[in-house]
Structure 1
Amino acid sequence: MRILQHIVIVLLAGGVIASCSSSQQSTQEFSAPQQEQSPQSNYYTTAFPHKDIHDKLKDAQQSVVRIASSGFYDSFTFEGRAITLPDIKTNALKDIATSKISTEESTSGTAIIIDRNNSSSLLISCEHTIAFPDTIITYYEGNNIPDETYIESISIKKNSSHLVYTSTELKPFKVLATAKRSDLALLSVEFERGNLELYPLEISAGNSNFLRLGSFMYILGFPKSYPIVTRGVASSSESWNDRFFVMDATFNPGISGGLVLATNDNYNSFEWVGMASSSTATREEVLVPHPEGENYSRITRPYTDSVFVQQKTRINYGITQAIPINQVKKILQENRDMLKQKGYRRALEMGE
């Protein structure tokens, strides 16, 4: 009888243990999905998106537009003549130049719509996409020639034009303010009131101090005039300064001013962390046909007209420098009075 009681007690104890084990396992299985969710961090994620983010990128793209600017110049050359700056200031250029041609310098870029008042929209882009110097001077160089003494050519700007492209209209824009050191420019354009496809950026301005090695970013812009979204990974912060950070996004002319986005909450939302600005490049000089000569397209026919030296830029693809969002906030703060006068309230909030 005692043996039977002992067996029953052991079985009951084993049942209690099994029951506790089963209950604990059930609790763990139920709480597993919660453990997979990492808490929000101030730092921007280094992870690839694990969910569909098409709608968020599409909304951001509605605030990104293509811009183009042109500068028109009268260019004078002084071939074989020892012309200096005092000569330029005391003589009519047409009287001392050996030739004169009209030239055009054009740039294209990207701008971001950040605010709107009753009559116009406020945009921001890179300063280098809209700026043309009033005067461009090149000097003769050589072993026996003093540096920056004898002028080879001088170009005088006559006028310039600035345009915003959308799918429905082409509008001129005005330059409101520039910051050359940070390569930023504030622009103003009057869109048609019925143009509902464009609206100010609704994504919050983040903090570029929370970018780190491996932070994953999306870049929206108009490289080569195409609406493109690309991606990049932040490099080591050791190569950054207060004016730019570096990522491995593919850079093409036209993406300057492009919107750079990152997330710190597992892609539930994005924050605006910067603007694509430039890439590393090398310059080389090449011979080109006469700018105002007839189009030369027959390869088998020797070219006999005048030739000119022109600088070409060769871009080192795969390296993109971006302007931190903290610099964007700075230019908004510096122009606070102007923005307040024009009624750009959201821009004022972004600058705070």
Structure 2
Amino acid sequence: MDIYWIFDKKHGLCTITHTLQVKRNANTNFMYTRNRLRPGFSRLVLLFILFVAGLSVACQTRYVITDMGVQAYYQTNHPLQDTSRDIAKIFESVKRVNVVGYYSTFLFSEDAGVTEKDVNRAETYNKAVSQFAYTQSKAGTATVIARSDNNLILITNDHVVSFPDTLVFFYDQDEQQTGRRGRASEKIVERISIRVSQINMIFDMPRFGPFQIVSRDKNNDIALIAVKIPDEESLQRTSILSVGIGDPEKLNWGSFVYVFGYPKGYKMVSRAIVSDPNRDRLSGFLIDGQFNEGISGGLILAIRAETGEMEWVGMARAASASSKVVLVPVEKNVEDYAFHQSYTGEVFLDVITQIEYGITIPVSMKAIQNFFRREDRRLRDEGYYLGRAIAR
């Protein structure tokens, strides 16, 4: 025999003579428990119920409303079931990317009068007073999304794998300085840095050699990279992302997401909450993850409310940041100076970028799928097949 109890927070204990399908909801004033009683004990329970009903005249039959609206497509709370095995499996396809750009730098005196229009002239570099080399490095996250012949194809942000070909730096000039005709004179070039090479490596796959950039979308900050795997065994042993393709258009305020990546080089999974869903025509959204450098290209997964399955809804791209101009002493060792006294040595201006933690702008899955479909034919012609990564 099935006995249902309803407790009205305002009126006390009541019994139900007509029971609808009941489900727990925080928006109702009712709670229930269900107990299956032994047949020999059921009569005593019925007598007790009749006794309580006689004392509670105000207690009447109540119907519990079960239809509380449409369930969210993606979960808005932390998953109830254990997801640790799923997370570990997914991370097998998430890789750390390191990119180093090598530059040759030419330094010019101010008297040489080199301007921006001289940058592309070969004879300009004969005026350099010195030449030296320096490097720039970047780190980010990439996810293995497909196998193609003996290549693995990964997705990341374009800014993670891109360096400018040429960097031009200028001397500071007085704003009042003018040319012969009273117009502001052209800025004088101090140094020019030209990129001569770039090395692209996947951190935990160094023996497979550098990767190649096979496709990119600078506007949406998406890049596809490919690394050649020399033997079939290693190729088959590498895990491919196996979660379903999600729909960012169905994300809501408060949707719960996981973010996989390598902030500061550490292998980490973070949780975040969605804000401002469908903020643009590509179903863009914001998340509040506390991200650091290296998370760019990270995988963003939401959890289906009905099934509990994880789905790919976007890629971490950039944290909001602000910059400020500061005065920096030329001398590197300033520990001996009193920090509350004025500094009289030589200083120069520098720009410091500060990440505004808690505001992250992802690339939506809609933008990624548009990119895949647009590039699919060309990639096939070059021997790269995206397979299941494209939602049909």
Is TM > 0.5 for Structure 1 vs Structure 2? yes
Instruction: Determine the structure 1 residue equivalent to 2:86.
Output: 56
Residues in 2 aligned to 1:88 and 1:168: alpha-carbon distance in whole angstroms: 37
The residue matched to 1:328 in structure 2 has which SS? helix
User: Any residues of structure 2 matched to 1:292-331 within 5 Å, and which?
Assistant: 299-300=335-336, 311-331=351-371
Residues in 2 aligned to 1:54 and 1:212: alpha-carbon distance in whole angstroms: 24
User: Any residues of structure 2 matched to 1:3-42 within 5 Å, and which?
Assistant: none
**CA shift digits 1:187-226 (9 cap, x unpaired):** 1012454446631111011111111211110000011111
Residue 138 of structure 1 is aligned with which of 169, 190, 193?
169
Say yes or no: does 1:109 pair with 2:160: no
Instruction: Determine the structure 2 residue equivalent to 1:11.
Output: none
Sort the Cα spacing of 1:147 and 1:234 in 2 relative to 1 into closer, same or farther, 3 A: farther
User: Any residues of structure 2 matched to 1:111-260 within 5 Å, and which?
Assistant: 111-141=142-172, 142-144=174-176, 146=184, 149-166=187-204, 169=207, 171-191=209-229, 193-195=232-234, 198-237=238-277, 240=280, 242=282, 244-260=284-300
| Cα RMSD after superposing both structures | 3.6
**Pairwise CA distance, 1:117:** 2.1
Residue type at the aligned position of 2:274: A
Residues in 1 aligned to 2:144 and 2:370: alpha-carbon distance in whole angstroms: 17
Q: Which range moves more in the overlay, 204-213 or 85-94?
A: 85-94
Question: Contact 2:144/2:153 (CA < 8 Å) preserved in 1?
Answer: yes
**CA shift digits 1:231-270 (9 cap, x unpaired):** 1101123755638421100111001000000012356211
**Pairwise CA distance, 1:297:** 6.9
The residue matched to 1:237 in structure 2 has which SS? coil
Sort the Cα spacing of 1:144 and 1:217 in 2 relative to 1 into closer, same or farther, 3 A: same
The residue matched to 1:220 in structure 2 has which SS? strand
**Pairwise CA distance, 1:138:** 2.7
**CA shift digits 1:81-114 (9 cap, x unpaired):** 3321343344534432344321111100000100
- Unpaired stretches in structure 1, ≥5 consecutive residues: 1-20, 291-295
**Pairwise CA distance, 1:148:** 6.4
TM-score normalised by structure 2 residue count: 0.71
The residue matched to 1:318 in structure 2 has which SS? strand
**Pairwise CA distance, 1:80:** 2.5
Residue type at the aligned position of 2:203: Y
**Pairwise CA distance, 1:332:** 0.8
Question: Contact 1:74/1:101 (CA < 8 Å) preserved in 2?
Answer: yes
Instruction: Determine the structure 2 residue equivalent to 1:7.
Output: none
The residue matched to 1:136 in structure 2 has which SS? strand
Instruction: Determine the structure 1 residue equivalent to 2:108.
Output: 78
Residues in 2 aligned to 1:278 and 1:154: alpha-carbon distance in whole angstroms: 28
Say yes or no: does 1:66 pair with 2:107: no
Residues in 2 aligned to 1:41 and 1:312: alpha-carbon distance in whole angstroms: 45
**Pairwise CA distance, 1:165:** 1.5
The residue matched to 1:274 in structure 2 has which SS? strand
Residues in 1 aligned to 2:185 and 2:271: alpha-carbon distance in whole angstroms: 44
Sort the Cα spacing of 1:27 and 1:275 in 2 relative to 1 into closer, same or farther, 3 A: closer
Residue type at the aligned position of 1:186: L
Instruction: Determine the structure 2 residue equivalent to 1:88.
Output: 119
Instruction: Determine the structure 1 residue equivalent to 2:378.
Output: 338
Question: Contact 2:278/2:284 (CA < 8 Å) preserved in 1?
Answer: no
Percent identity over paired residues: 27
Sort the Cα spacing of 1:276 and 1:26 in 2 relative to 1 into closer, same or farther, 3 A: closer
Question: Contact 1:240/1:246 (CA < 8 Å) preserved in 2?
Answer: no
Of Structure 1 and Structure 2, the greater helix share is in: 1
Instruction: Determine the structure 2 residue equivalent to 1:15.
Output: none
Q: Which range moves more in the overlay, 238-247 or 100-109?
A: 238-247
Residue type at the aligned position of 2:188: Y
Sort the Cα spacing of 1:26 and 1:178 in 2 relative to 1 into closer, same or farther, 3 A: closer
**Pairwise CA distance, 1:60:** 1.1
Sort the Cα spacing of 1:173 and 1:54 in 2 relative to 1 into closer, same or farther, 3 A: same
Sort the Cα spacing of 1:71 and 1:338 in 2 relative to 1 into closer, same or farther, 3 A: same
